[in-house]
Amino acid sequence: MTTQERAALIKKYKDGYKQVADALQGISDAEWDFKREPGKWSAREIVHHLADSETNGAIRLRKLLVEHQPYIQGYDQDEFAKRLQYSKRPTEPALKAFEAARATSAQLLDLMTEADWKRAGEHSESGPYSTETWLKIYSDHAHNHADQIRKNRSAYKEKK
């Protein structure tokens, strides 16, 4: 990955929270829990997923930066949603956790050296996992979910 490619991904990563916040702007109570189709997540569930994923992601980045050959454990996001009752919980604390995890990890991204960008470990599900792999995944993550929220809200308005 070139320095320019990395800089673009870092910029995108830093914009992720804003994208989600913008997608949620003016959301109604009914829209929070609307699902476009069975098996898809509501905006409420997406926000809780983002909080859990981003806090996991923040730990993953730190493990990659600090530990020798870290083992990065995968997790079942659907089981998290079910067992942690995403559909029943208020979203404000989750949004704060998502925002804080992003902000503190962005600070680290700005301080990373070339040697830090070469660090890697092993992911339990996907194998070799580097700081660059981490950045590629998490730079898109919030944007993808912001798009899901927008699609949910659009579908809700069409059904009304």
Which tens digit of pLDDT belongs to each residue from 90-137? Answer: 999 999 999 999 999 999 999 999 999 999 999 999 999 999 999 999
CA distances from 66 to 69, 111, 135 (A): 9, 14, 16
pLDDT of 160 > 90? The answer is no
Mean pLDDT of all residues belonging to the chain:
96
Residue 159 pLDDT class (50, 70, 90 cuts):
confident
The pLDDT of residue 51: 98
Structural domain boundaries enclosing 34: 3-159
Cβ-proximal residues to 16 (8 Å cutoff; 6+ apart), any chain? 102, 138, 139, 141, 142, 143, 146
The pLDDT of residue 17: 98
Q: Which CATH number fits the domain that encloses residue 58?
A: 1.20.120.450
Q: What is the pLDDT of residues 53-68, one digit of tens each?
A: 999 999 999 999 999 9
Number of domains into which the chain is organized: 1
